[in-house]
Chains A and B, each alone.
Chain A
Amino acid sequence: RKEVEQDPGPFNVPEGATVAFNCTYSNSASQSFFWYRQDCRKEPKLLMSVYSSGNEDGRFTAQLNRASQYISLLIRDSKLSDSATYLCVVRISNDMRFGAGTRLTVKP
């Protein structure tokens, strides 16, 4: 079983839609959690950290459920520019573990 699992998608949604991604992790010792965004043929970039109480950054909301060991990312009012692959990242001790990513395509 992979340490960090994501639905690969693709998620194809119209502009303005709300879309949510989930990510599950297997190691209960995981300490902190992040979402990264990776555009096609580019490097990953940090989108946001995920805090225990949940957190919001504009149209993006991240949630953490430690009991069920999953994190989520909600994108509201999706834009064409949101099209990318979203990577779930889990910190375990001094290591980062990446999920394989969920691909999102926002269509006009």
Chain B
Amino acid sequence: EADIYQTPRYLVIGTGKKITLECSQTMGHDKMYWYQQDPGMELHLIHYSYGVNSTEKGDLSSESTVSRIRTEHFPLTLESARPSHTSQYLCASSETRAVGKAFFGQGTRLTVV
């Protein structure tokens, strides 16, 4: 089993609220990623990080921000949730020398009402 954890697993929240999705890994991986995935659809990269104090936007930043203050922690924040943010959010990590061999968390299913 992968040692990467996401909380909460499910979240229903009202429009306009600020939310933070948590992701932690205990494998010491430098690279971490956030993906968004709608049911039956492909994964879209939202943000990624090469290591502490490194963050980059992916193809679909979705008006969110991330931080990487510690190697093991890569939280995703939505400043003002909208119904269009309703989706599944998946966090992943990999070793820098093994990009492609990623471990995923179980995901956070977000519903914005």
Contact = CB atoms under 8 A, between A and B. Distances in A.
Interface in B4-20: none
A95 B99 contact: yes
B101 A34 contact: yes
A46 B39 CA distance: 19
Interface in A68-108: 87, 89, 91, 94-96, 98-101, 103
Chain A binding surface SS class: strand
B41 A89 contact: no
B105 to A, nearest CB: 6
Contacts of A34: 100-101
B94 to A, nearest CB: 8
A12 to B, nearest CB: 16
B8 to A, nearest CB: 15
A26 to B, nearest CB: 15
Contacts of A45: 104
Given A44-B43, A101-B42, A96 B102 contact: yes
Contacts of A57: none
A94 B45 CA distance: 13
B90 A43 contact: yes
A32 interface: yes
Contact of B43 (A33, A49, A95, A98): A98
Interface string A25-55: 0000000111000000011111001000000
Interface of B: 31, 33, 35, 40-43, 45, 48, 50, 90, 94, 96, 99-107
Interface of A: 32-34, 42-46, 49, 87, 89, 91, 94-96, 98-101, 103
